[in-house]
Structure 1
Amino acid sequence: MNLNRRNLHRDLGYFYIGLIISFAFSGILMNHREHWHPEKYTIETKEIQVSLPEEKEITEEYAEKLGKDLGIEDKMRRHNVKKGTFKISFEKHDVEIDMETGKGEIVAFNKTPIISQAMKLHKSTSNWWIYYSDIFGLSLITIAITGAIMITHGKNTFARRGWKLAVAGIVIPLLVLIFIG
């Protein structure tokens, strides 16, 4: 194997192609998560009718017990009464009940297959994954540098033309951070 700039650039690119695609795909999904909630989708909505106590009697213990009575076994996240609606949020369910009528619904959620797993790449705090991601980041820098120095002759070299595009690639995100961030 001849280890020159071109071969190093090519082989690192081949090695990381799957990870590059996975990170890019999950990054696009993360950018738009407020619009379509890729980590959950509705699998069932069930109408319910319950008798609720006075608002002042609605405690965390009451919300947990009501969830169990409604057949919800997952962990409760929070509850509140707002604008006449009693809401309980569980890990995989949401419950909304009208305080006056006692009518409401249970919405059951499930993670979107493959997409939710891909999004975990960006959220993982596991030490081994962080170190692997750091190596990946350093490899992307290496791929960028080896790609920049790979072409040494002609009018399209990094020294003649590529540096202008590289500067633009740095300036645009900086301008976004300055004016939007």
Structure 2
Amino acid sequence: MKQQKIRGLHRDLGYFYIGLIISFAFSGILMNHRDSWHPEKYTVETKAVTVKLPAEELISEKYAESLGKELGIDDKIRRHSVKKGTFKISFENHDVEIDMETGKGEVVAFKKTPIISHAMKLHKNTSEWWIYYSDIFGISLIVIAVTGALMIPYGKFTFKKRGLKLAVAGVVFPLLFLFLLS
């Protein structure tokens, strides 16, 4: 491929995908921290509750749904769990946490955060059209990376002289984190 065509392809794909790259990066940062601060939703109201819970082995999805109705929650249930002595129920617009021993807990009502919740859907979306678009985007990122590596044909900053070492470091660095920290 001629140098001019490589530069043109690299530039045009870069321009075309710049908005999506920024959106994915923003969404990815938010997703990385979703367990600590729930960026997707904000609290509207928190209400303390006390209930009598059955034994852990009797807690089922049906029980979680009925408890939600009892607590005045008219949402679709997403999941429920009992971990470390806490019964948790997640609904579309409410979260419930109740201590298994005392029966004391809280119901948190929330709304989706505008823009942020939509951006986070970029990483969660599983519709067929989005999967194909994401695949095309992934292939385009590979093309952008390869054309970027081939753009400088001579000198001390070519891919062979400098870029290859940095590219290998870019692959090794996250692998070290995966293997050493998991």
Category of TM-score, reference length = shorter chain = 0.7 to 0.9
- The 1:94–1:122 alpha-carbon spacing in structure 2 relative to 1, beyond 3 Å, is closer
Counterpart Cα distance in 1 of 2:104 and 2:181: 44
Could you report, residue by residue, the CA deviation over 1:119-149 in whole angstroms, capped at 9, with x for unpaired residues?
Answer: 1111111111111111111100100111111
Task: Tell me the percent identity.
Answer: 72
Matches within 5 A, 1:3-152: 4-47=5-48, 55=54, 64-76=65-77, 77-78=79-80, 88-95=89-96, 105-152=106-153
Structure with the greater alpha carbon radius of gyration: 1
Q: Is the 8 A contact 2:68 2:74 kept in 1?
A: yes
Please tell me the residue identity of whatever aligns with 2:115: I
Tell me how large the CA RMSD over aligned residues is: 3.2
Structure 1 unaligned segments of length 5 or more: list them: none
TM-score by length of 1: 0.78
Structure 1: how far apart are the matches of 2:101 and 2:171? Answer: 57
- TM score, norm. by length of structure 2: 0.78
Q: CA deviation at 1:168?
A: 1.0
Q: Deviations over 1:71-122 (max 9, x none)?
A: 3211234376x86x87654332234568999876432022222111111111
Contact 1:5–1:146 (CA<8 Å) still a contact in 2? yes
Which consecutive unaligned segments of at least 5 residues does structure 2 have? none
Q: Is the 8 A contact 1:44 1:109 kept in 2?
A: yes
Q: Is the 8 A contact 2:80 2:87 kept in 1?
A: no
Deviates further, 148-157 or 64-73:
64-73
Q: Give me the whole-angstrom Cα distance separating, in 2, the residues matched to 1:94 and 1:69.
A: 14
